[in-house]
Structure 1
Amino acid sequence: MTLPEVRRLDSARLTAGLDHHQRLDLAAHTDVHPPLPRSDRDGLLALAEAAGLSGRGGAGFPFARKARAALATADRTGAPPVIVVNGAEGEPASAKDKMLLARSPHLVLDGAALAAAAFGAEEIVVGVAAGSPGELSVPAALAERELPCPARTVCVPERFVSGESGALIRGINGLPVAPAPLKARAADGAEGGVRRRPTLLSNAETWAQLAIAARLGPDAYAAVGTADEPGTTLLTVNRPAAGPLVVEVPAGTRLGPVLDACGLQPGAGVLVGGYHGAWLRPQDAVDALLSRAGLAGLGATLGAGAIVTLPDDTCPLGEIAQVAAWLAAESAGQCGPCKRGLPHAAEALALLAAAAAEPTVLEDARSALGAAQAGGACSHPDGTARFLLTALDVFAEDVEIHLTGPGCGRPARGVLPLPPAQGARLEVDWSRCTGHGLCAVLAPDLIRLGPHGYPTSTTVPVAPWQEHDARRLVSQCPALAVRLRRHG
């Protein structure tokens, strides 16, 4: 299995040793990294707070505050906490956590073990995506070392929502790997934790950062980065027709030099933060500071640190429509925004890309995405809406060309990374379809009718939660014009 390639700008902390080793086993790890100092509960909390350690999984929540919440529940209930490493990276444009678990697993385990010992944890659980390099690397690393408590690996399906914290915890608990229908904090344990225990969950990079901070101390840790966001951060820089690069940079680094170091140009636009992130215009992207504060002023977010540039020779709307359809199918389908809003927006993007949209389609899509924001059971609708709404703004000229003419004439080259086609799709046979309209009645979440009573799309992705309606639609279509085709 190919391991992600690594580069660095300035300090090598998380990536130390990876220029000489494909993977740091325990012997190589101890040669590269000095011994891990011990810490008690108060000392570790003080270290995390003094180092300004925040989560690297997207939300940027302060680690010390999250840990204190879990420990407060543990004190109140008498139940020891569970430490969870979230390595279930379902974002196709991100590979940083996969890289750490595959190439430097002991650095991640150092952070988890440090917290487990200081907080008296009952167990360490490492969540990895099935089929990822970590599925073999993490158990091998666990077998090499002693830990302060039992530890195990849990594999979850490689889906976009599998990396959501609630979805991973449900998977660890033996439930379907999907965000909980009702939000519950893992720290509270009773509703949202592993085995109803108070649970301290962070992604793989955050645990590795904790290990680095413990070795360096807060002052040396803050020698790079910004005053508000000290230390380094990992980026996944995606390259057309090549594998992704995982690049370690000091927080606050300008995006332009990072792209230069990876041999890339801003092109037509730059996506920062992955498929729950935001698009930037080329002129804004070059000088954008890669920190939460630096990107907030541009209406963007660092998120999981995924960077994608869009070349000038591909159709932006075609690229974005493909991702929109994938994101809609990847949802858990547990709330209105995911069941109706995201498929509606994906269909509108497909019509725009095909230069077949009515003028009202654009406003309908904006309305659906606006309603999706802050209205879902998890962050999937919000993040998807940000990705699509910023795309409509950054590529406004292309939108206008596709609305008023035959389109831009450029093919969609598939530059935005997506996994190989999986699951099922509905396919409409126009030679058979007679416009009965029953399909839209049987499966309103899948099929929309145009002004003449025919389906607006000939190929529709089907999420797992939509398969029952899709099968019913296929069996009851009077013209036998719809079939369900499986991929993967």
Structure 2
Amino acid sequence: MRTVTVTGVGGPRLTLGFDRFDRLDLDRHRAMHGGLPAPSLGELVRMVEAADLRGRGGAGFPFARKLSAVARRSARSADGRAERPVVVVNGAEGEPGSAKDKVLLARAPHLVLDGASVAASALGTDEIVLAVESGAAARSVRAAVAERRMPARVVRLPERFVAGQSGAVVRAINGRTPVPPGRRERAAGIGVDGRPTLVSNAETYAQLAVLASLGPDLYATAGTPDEPGTTLLTVGGTTVVEVPFGTRLAEVLDHCEAAAGQGVLVGGYHGRWLDPAAASRAVLSRAGMEAVGGTLGAGIVLPLTPGTCALGEVRRIAAYLAGQSAGQCGPCRLGLPDVVRALDDLADGSGGPDAVRRAAGVGRGRGACFHPDGTARFVLSALEAFADEIGAHRRGGSCGMPVYGVLPLPVPSGEEARLAVDWTRCDGHGLCGHLLPELVRLDRYGYPVLLDFDIPPWMEHDVQRAVGMCPALALRVTTGVRETAVRRS
């Protein structure tokens, strides 16, 4: 895990003890947070409803509704017998700008386990599964499970963007490929091993533990009357900060010695861009972010450093998101590459914002998961936040600023594969454009124009077939890091 600073505005709750210890083992955890409460199902639901606890993984779904749905489903089955539910801690953070769950699992694993245990006890089960990506988090969680001598499983997930979606996590636990299912299913009905499953992210369970320990009244001494409590944010990809709901975004940025710069992305790569004026007014709550056109999402805040080409940064992330899809539906396979192409045309002045809007709108609401919708939200909000710079691109084909690559992406391993063309051989047959419409567009002379991003795993077979079928043997697959630190836009 990369080096991450942990700080806070106001008194710590989830990060209590972080100023003294790198990791809270069981004895330190109990000294900080006390013993494990055991509320009944009814008591727990009432507590969660009173605090209006929402999931902290991005969707913000009411936790009480999830809990009640699993309880109802586990109380009945097709043959009339009760089904024992499963509690899953989703510790996946495939998004490069997020670190809060990794920090919690690595430094306060027992707080997360407390929340999972409270939920499991209320549901009448002892089956808990922890799904994690980070090696440091996995080691910490396994040590915590051993300290408690509890029968919990730890499952490793790949570090891919869509692998953290709840359906993908359930598939991974079931031993299947960790991609979102082809149709939208609720784990509360059919989850791990086909049983009712409660899935929430690590911070949600940590918040549940604090709520069960403090009770709704004490829990509500932080935050706002409508949105009590605190939340964790990852600012700039390297600072995790705990803040009470109702805190101004500008105060958090000042605390983290960051500035709004050209704009601020809130909610991560499925979130929305705020221009500096909107960022200065934004309040960190669901209602406060909605008032300025933003979203809390997964608690990711990414200020855009002045001096880099904003449109180039947006294009980098859109290409990354296109390559991170599961490739299971048309909006991901064809729609997201078209968004990247429209952004390319916008950047060089040959296209306009309307073309980007059309490309982003084609697959909205039609994907097998929410990845196309989230990507469209990210791109469309950028058109508004960076309207002045986009105008410069349309007038002159460039804004005059380089692309520094300040928005975080995974560190390349050097094994990434891309499509390439040997131009001394290419005769413009155009077959590659028909075999690989996701990656290749033909120009008016029939020669290929390649989309500049890594070959997704789901395209590897198709790419190899196209390489083998190229009549001029001009198509190649190359590996290695190609993107330089600075690019001219």
TM > 0.5 fold call: yes
- Distance in 2 (CA, whole Å) between partners of 1:384 and 1:330 is 11
Tell whether 2:1 aligns with 1:18.
no
* Cα deviation code 1:150-203 (max 9, x no counterpart): 2110001000001000000000000100000011110112xxx00011000100
Q: Distance in 2 between matches of 1:54 and 1:247?
A: 18
Distance 2:58 2:232 in 1: 12
Give the paired residue count. 475
* Cα distance in 2 between the residues matched to 1:158 and 1:436: 38
AA aligned to 1:419 is P
Which of residues 374, 379, 394 is equivalent to 1:388? 379
Distance 1:403 1:32 in 2: 57
Asked whether the equivalents of residues 251 and 290 of structure 1 are also in contact (C-alpha less than 8 Å), the reply is yes
Match of 1:438 among 403, 417, 431: 431
Give the partner amino acid of 1:156.
L
Runs of 4+ in 1 over 6 A off after TM superposition: none
Aligned partner letter, 1:123: E
1:37-436 alignment to 2 at 5 Å? 37-77=37-77, 78-129=82-133, 131-147=134-150, 150-189=151-190, 193-238=191-236, 244-353=238-347, 355=348, 357-359=349-351, 362-421=353-412, 423-436=416-429
Equivalent pair of 2:168/2:181 in contact (CA under 8 Å): yes
Distance 1:470 1:2 in 2: 33
Deviates more, 1:377-386 or 1:420-429: 420-429
Aligned equivalents of 1:314, 1:431: Cα separation in 2: 35
Secondary structure of the corresponding residue to residue 287 of structure 2:
helix
Correspondence for 2:487: none
Amino acid at match of 1:159: R
Q: Structure 1 residues 131-140 or 255-264, which shifts more?
A: 131-140
2-structure distance, mates of 1:65, 1:218: 17
Q: Would you say the 8 A contact 1:424–1:485 is kept in 2?
A: yes
Question: Per-residue deviation at 1:456?
Answer: 2.9
Which among 438, 441, 453 is matched to residue 448 of structure 1? 441
3-state SS of 2:449 partner: coil
Counterparts of 1:94 and 1:329, CA distance in 2: 19
| 275-284 vs 466-475, greater mean Cα deviation | 466-475
Determine if contact 1:51/1:221 at 8 Å carries over to the other structure: yes
Partners of 2:480 and 2:90 lie apart in 1 by 28
Give me the whole-angstrom Cα distance separating, in 1, the residues matched to 2:123 and 2:22: 33
SS in 2 for 1:167: helix
Deviations for 1:55-98, whole angstroms, at most 9, x for unmatched residues? 11111111111110011010012111100000011010011111
Tell me the CA shift for residue 420 of structure 1.
2.0
Contact 2:425/2:474 (<8 A) preserved: yes
Change (3 A) 1:319 1:245: same
Q: CA deviation at 1:458?
A: 6.1
**With structure 1 as the length reference, what TM-score do the two structures score?**
0.94
Is the Cα contact below 8 Å between 1:3 and 1:99 reproduced in 2?
no
Matched letter for residue 328 of structure 1:
A
Taking the aligned partners of 2:450 and 2:311, their CA distance within structure 1 comes to 16
Measure, in 2, the Cα distance between the counterparts of 1:123 and 1:3: 33
CA RMSD of aligned residues (A): 1.6
The separation in 2 between residues aligned to 1:457 and 1:90, in whole angstroms, is 26
CA contact (8 A) 1:124 1:152 kept: yes
Asked if 1:35 is matched to 2:35, the reply is: yes
Q: Which amino acid aligns with 2:60?
A: G
What amino acid does structure 2 have at the position aligned with 1:424? A
What's the CA shift for 1:459? 3.2
- Gap change, CA 1:468 and 1:260, over 3 Å in 2: same
Q: Which moved more, 1:446-455 or 1:102-111?
A: 446-455
- Letter of the aligned partner of 2:246 in structure 1? G
Structure 1 residues 420, 10: closer, same or farther in 2, change over 3 A?
same
**Whole-angstrom distance in 2 between the partners of 1:449 and 1:362:** 22
Mapped partners of 2:275, 2:430: distance in 1: 42
- The AA in structure 2 aligned to 1:277 is G
C-alpha separation in 2, matches of 1:457 and 1:17:
51
Conserved? CA contact 2:109–2:141, under 8 Å: yes
8 A Cα contact 1:3 1:102, kept in partner: no
Distance 2:253 2:144 in 1: 33
> Using a 3 Å threshold, how does the CA distance of structure 1 residues 2 and 300 change in structure 2: closer, same or farther?
closer
Amino acid of the structure 2 residue aligned with 1:438? L
Shift of 1:43: 1.1
Aligned to 2:75, the other structure's residue is in SS state: helix
Would you say the 8 A contact 2:58–2:297 is kept in 1? Answer: yes
Task: Please tell me whether the aligned partners of residues 437 and 453 of structure 1 are also in contact (alpha carbons under 8 angstroms).
Answer: yes
Q: Calculate the TM-score normalised by the size of structure 2.
A: 0.94
> SS where residue 461 of structure 1 aligns?
coil
Distance in 2 between the 1:124 and 1:27 partners?
Answer: 21
